[in-house]
Amino acid sequence: MAHTTNYFDTFIEVAEDCPTEHAQEPPIAESPSIAALHYRLIAEQPYSRTSDDVIFETYALRAGVAVDDALERALFFSMGRPCLRSSPLGKRYGWGLHHDDQGRVALVARESDEYALRAADPDIAHTRAMRSKRA
């Protein structure tokens, strides 16, 4: 059975304990962090990738696997994987994640008007990024 991390018509708001009031780009290091890879994959082409695409491509880039390897992708999703609710983008860096009706994702800065509109939109599902610390 294949698992998925995709959301549809959903807005993932920043975590309740997110330490920043303004969205920040994750720092770029010699070896890119998960946050930096998530940011790059989503910011460079908004609404072009699903959550599954972002999660698998991040894994593939870090593991040295071909991004277009269908067998490797099938094996990767043969077990459950953490979704973008666990991404550092929403937990630490102040980014909301909007998933459209086809599951494609884009970043929304916490302090933006778009964030306020998405957070108040009754026509989409709402959830939050996971907290970094227990309540």
Domain locations in the chain as residue ranges: 10-128
**Measuring CA to CA, how many Å separate 81 from each of 4, 6, 27, 90, 111?**
8, 11, 24, 17, 29
The whole-model pTM stands at 0.92
Task: Note whether 106 and 42 are within 8 A (CB).
Answer: yes
Q: What whole-number distance in Å separates Cα of residue 15 and Cα of residue 122? A: 19
Q: What is the pLDDT of residue 63?
A: 93
| Residues facing residue 125 across a β-bridge | 10
Q: Per-block average pLDDT, block size 10, for the chain (135 residues)?
A: 91 96 90 93 97 97 93 94 96 97 98 97 96 76
Dist CA 26 CA 121 (whole Å) = 27
State the pLDDT at residue 132: 85
Q: Residue 100: which residues within 8 A CB-CB, separation 6 or more?
A: 8, 9, 47, 106
Contact 11, 100 (CB under 8 A): no
